[in-house]
A and B are shown apart, each in its own frame.
Chain A
Amino acid sequence: MTNRIFLLVLALLAVLDASCARRRPGNAAASASSGAINAQPTGGSAGVVKIVSSLPRTGSANAQTSTTVNGIKMALEEAGNEAGEFQVVYEDWDDASAKKGDWDPEVEAANADKAAKDPDVMFYIGTYNSGAAKISMPILNKNALVMISPANTYTGLTKPGMGEANEPAVYRPTGNVNYFRVVPADDIQGKAACEWMHKLGAKSVYILDDRGLYGKGIADVFELTAKQTGLQVLGREGIDPKAQEYRSLMTKIKALNPDFVYFGGTTQTNAGQIAKDMVAVALPAKLMVPDGCFEKAFIEAGGAKNLEGRAFVTFGGVPPDKLTGKGADFVKKYRDKFHSEPEGYAVYGYVAARTALDVLAKTGKKDREGLRKAMTEYKQDAGALGTWNFDSNGDTSLTTMSGSIVQNGNFVFSVMLGVQEGAPKAETVPAPAQAPGSGVGLGPSAQLFFDGKGQDPAKVAAWQCVPAAATPTAP
């Protein structure tokens, strides 16, 4: 029996050849070397272009991804689901599985593969998790499919010399850039956080991270900057994001008496519990967290009382209620349409989709390689995030960062970090990649705007009193 099965397999393999040729008639000319771009799949509907997003829609990241998807939908709706000659269809894909209850590499790989093979898919908006991007980037790169991330901030995805030695080349087997992100990366944010801490008068910090790609990455940047700028790092430790509580850890930190605790992590990796346990052991230090916690769920999880005036959140770009011009229009429309406040990433979803529509309209062809090239030359003029373009790595030229504080159960904008919006006009020519510390983010030209004289630790509390205009108007 066994022998017969193997003979059968061999026989079947023998008939494969003819069938293969029949299935893919036009592709014989393409080269088979691994660095080459795969041929674009043929077929599909002539006047239709699909934009898909791959975000974790199950599990606790849902709050952020829902708002991102809403942003994407708004952009499409505004354009009447059309771009140039094309009718645009949007599909919202989930990269989470029940098995993991969170984003799952297998599902992300399958999504990328599915998108690559669908002749109608021209843009892939995603991912939310930087770890997921690592999986789908090489797959989409080989297919020259444009990928626009509204949320990934891990530096190694785009910037040479900031992650592993083989990053980001390993994500670009063809050597071309097909991955673009509309959010500033962690090298900028980590530095901005450190700078903010200095301005708040902090002298020492204890650094925690969630042992995740994003959380650890940003904590690394933060630690490096802290050491370079003379902020005393009292310790660095990872946490188990699945643990129930962190009181023993906080007790240990309490004995060291830092001014600040910096946690590189997200709401999903237990930032709320960390905030609670700091209060529970009466650790007087303040807590600073990155944009992964810039969502209502963080306040809900940490408890508004515990966070009041002592939780500091950095965010790439400006918070929704501080957006001006088209950004402010976006926020207003979002509130009207979805009857809720847009979370931080909504505008990035919107801008990602807007970018895709613009590039498609301008190119006017369902040609992936053409669209990819058009992306590298794209510039958004006075959009919801102002004027910006992509640099040669696929990073946004925006380096604006903002800091918010939790007050009365809401995020209250407090300070602009990095380059002031609108001040330096983005150049049309993509800027070359910059080495760390050479002007990206908080170089000498960077400005910090805040309304107090926060250098003195004693005045930190007074400093938190931000102008009343900054308080968001809840609908």
Chain B
Amino acid sequence: MTTESLLLIFAVLYPIFPVFDLAGEAAGLQLHLDQRLVTIFVYGILVVALNVQVGYAGLLQLGIAAFFGIGAMATGVMTVDKYPFHFGFWGALVCAPLVAAVAGAVIGAPTLRLRGDYLAIVTIGFGEVLRTVLINLENITDGPRGLNPVPEVWTPSWLRDWLGAGDAGEANLLVMYYTALLVLVAAVVVLKVIENTRIGRAFVALREDELAAACMGLDPGRIKLMAFAGGAALSGLAGCLYATNLTTTADPTNYDFNNAVMVLCCLIIGGLGSLRGALLGAALLIGFDNVLSPLLDRGIQVAVGDASHPLARFSSWRWFLFGFALIFMMRLRPEGLFPARRVAAELHEEPEEA
């Protein structure tokens, strides 16, 4: 059994045997990891999406949150009562990535010929433009109110009854949980397959040496655009799940640069170009932010008693942890915790300059 399949089995079984929740309960803590795992799955898809662009094709893009936001917003437009579409969740799940991919192609086509660092700034800029536009085009996006309510995942009622055993809330969570997991697994499987096809190898060739790749007859522009649009599509998929999970498209400030940087951190700590790394990076960082951090704060509250000073909580110090993690990672293990073989090899044979 590979690590992947063990993890998958664990994830599939978690709602039935919530070992951590039970352990937490025994220790007097309410964890409810299953709800938080949905968030981790959504971010897992997002990190995998960024992996296509940064990890495979070497396009340094810092605006992934924009495509995430486009996916969420498209889902909102296609499902809420305000608009005449009423596609429902499954319709949106198909359309949101398409919309995001088109947006990716539109922004990517003119800018992909820019050098690496310029692409970074253009994508940051695009993120800022999008955030501003989403907030200000109130007639379409409902501005800060967000489109509301995004319907839950449509499932046949017999399946719902069976899953929830009569408990509607439980059924909803399980449906959301397994839908997110299924989409994540599907995305990973598809990428795993692509990795070893012509296109996958073309991405890597491009990353390693654009000039050489072009000489071998590859069209760098087309391949870059494919990676860019593909990553955007996956981000749109994540956005669709995100909005469905929250039942609203939320305030557009959720799709800003901070989010993009966080996703990049997940990818880098996990391992650039490595699917397993991307997933574990998401689990580690988002898990840290959403699960461990509140627990630690709770611990401090219990230990100190009256912790009213803002610095007397762990949250005020967590940027140190993120920052040092990135710095030490780059120094000691630049290929990430769970590296792709090819990237690791690339990073360790250092070209002697002088």
By a beta-carbon cutoff of 8 Å, the part of chain A in contact with chain B is 2, 5, 8-9, 12-13, 16-17, 19-21, 23-24, 27-34, 36, 38-39, 57-58, 62, 66, 69-70, 73, 91-94, 96-102, 104-107, 109-110, 113-114, 116-118, 131, 134-135, 138, 142-143, 156, 163-164, 166, 170, 211-213, 216, 238, 240, 338
B207 touches A (CB below 8 Å): no
Given A113-B32, A114-B35, A166-B81, verify A107-B254 contact (CB < 8 Å). Answer: no
Point out the residues of chain A lying under 8 angstroms from B13, CB to CB: 12
Point out the residues of chain A lying under 8 angstroms from B259, CB to CB: 99-100
Name 16 extra pairs, CB < 8 A, besides A5-B8, A113-B173: A19-B17, A24-B167, A32-B166, A33-B168, A38-B167, A38-B169, A98-B319, A107-B294, A113-B35, A114-B35, A116-B169, A134-B146, A134-B148, A138-B247, A166-B149, A212-B144
Give the size category of B's interface with A. 35 or more
Given A101-B258, A164-B142, A216-B144, verify A117-B32 contact (CB < 8 Å). Answer: yes
Offer 10 A-B interface pairs, CB within 8 angstroms, sorted by A: A5-B5, A8-B8, A24-B166, A28-B166, A93-B294, A94-B313, A100-B259, A138-B247, A142-B168, A213-B144
A357 to chain B, nearest CB (A): 20
B170 touches A (CB below 8 Å): yes
Given A24-B167, A97-B289, A212-B144, verify A114-B32 contact (CB < 8 Å). Answer: yes
Q: Report how far A228 CA is from B35 CA in the complex, Å.
A: 47
B:149-205 near A, CB below 8 Å: 149, 152, 157, 160-171, 173, 185, 189, 192-193
CB of B250 within 8 A of CB of A143, answer no
Given A8-B9, A32-B171, verify A99-B136 contact (CB < 8 Å). Answer: no
Q: Report how far A166 CA is from B245 CA in the complex, Å.
A: 19
Given A66-B308, A138-B149, A211-B136, verify A131-B144 contact (CB < 8 Å). Answer: yes
Point out the residues of chain A lying under 8 angstroms from B169, CB to CB: 38, 116, 142-143
Point out the residues of chain A lying under 8 angstroms from B245, CB to CB: 109
CB of B247 within 8 A of CB of A110, answer no
Partner of B163, one of A20, A39, A105: A20
Q: Report how far A39 CA is from B8 CA in the complex, Å.
A: 30
Point out the residues of chain A lying under 8 angstroms from B294, CB to CB: 93-94, 107
Given A9-B12, A32-B166, A32-B168, verify A66-B310 contact (CB < 8 Å). Answer: yes
8 smallest CB-CB distances across A and B, nearest first, come from A38-B169, A58-B315, A19-B16, A28-B166, A213-B144, A27-B167, A113-B35, A98-B318
B222 touches A (CB below 8 Å): no
CB of B148 within 8 A of CB of A238, answer no
CB of A106 within 8 A of CB of B297, answer no
Point out the residues of chain B lying under 8 angstroms from A91, CB to CB: 298, 301
**Residue of A9, A29, A66, A138 ringed by the most chain B CB atoms within 10 A:** A9
Partner of B315, one of A70, A94, A156: A94
Point out the residues of chain A lying under 8 angstroms from B308, CB to CB: 66, 69-70, 338
Point out the residues of chain B lying under 8 angstroms from A13, CB to CB: 12
Point out the residues of chain A lying under 8 angstroms from B208, CB to CB: none
A78 to chain B, nearest CB (A): 16
- Residue in B closest to A112 when the chains form the complex, CB atoms: B35
B:217-260 near A, CB below 8 Å: 245-248, 250-251, 253-254, 258-259
A410 to chain B, nearest CB (A): 21
CB of A238 within 8 A of CB of B136, answer yes
Point out the residues of chain B lying under 8 angstroms from A29, CB to CB: 166
Q: Report how far A362 CA is from B130 CA in the complex, Å.
A: 51
CB of A38 within 8 A of CB of B168, answer yes
Q: Report how far A212 CA is from B145 CA in the complex, Å.
A: 8
Given A5-B5, A211-B136, verify A96-B315 contact (CB < 8 Å). Answer: yes
Q: Report how far A23 CA is from B298 CA in the complex, Å.
A: 28
CB of A58 within 8 A of CB of B316, answer yes
Partner of A114, one of B5, B30, B136: B30
Q: Mark B316-341, 1 if CB is under 8 A from A, else 0.
A: 10110010000000000000000000
Point out the residues of chain A lying under 8 angstroms from B145, CB to CB: 134, 156, 163-164, 213
